Amino acid sequence: MSQDRLIGLTCQDCKRLNYHTHKSRLVKEKLASNKFCKHCRKHTAHKESKIKSKKK
């Protein structure tokens, strides 16, 4: 798996990055799903966001 397809899922309530996943290049729309947020301690909507990469 390449790092260029790595995306993050952020909680829409607290705006924290909770999950990491890979996305197919063929899918054009943003990923969205209901996931458990450990900070809010409830199931909330999570949407796709970019992950800031660390350059060496």
| Residue 33 belongs to domain spanning | 3-49
Structure-token pair, residue 10: 């952020």
CA distance 41 to 53: 27
| pLDDT tens digits, one per residue of 2-34 | 677 889 999 999 999 999 999 988 999 999 999
Question: Is residue 16 included in any domain, yes or no?
Answer: yes
Any idea what the CATH number is for the domain that residue 29 is in? 2.20.28.120
The more confidently predicted of residues 49 and 55 is 49
C-alpha–C-alpha distance, residues 48 and 31, integer Å: 5
Q: In this predicted model, which residue has the larger pLDDT, 56 or 7?
A: 7
Q: Look at residues 24, 1, 17, 11 and name the one whose alpha carbon lies nearest to residue 52.
A: 17
Q: 17 lies in a domain?
A: yes
**Number of domain units in the chain:** 1
Is the pLDDT at 1 greater than 60? The verdict is no
| Residue 31 resides in a domain | yes
What is the C-alpha separation between 24 and 15, in angstroms, rounded?
Answer: 24
Residue 54, domain member (yes or no): no
35 pLDDT above the threshold of 70? yes
Q: Given a cut of 90, is residue 50 above it in pLDDT?
A: no
In this predicted structure, the answer to whether residue 53 has a pLDDT above a threshold of 80 is: no
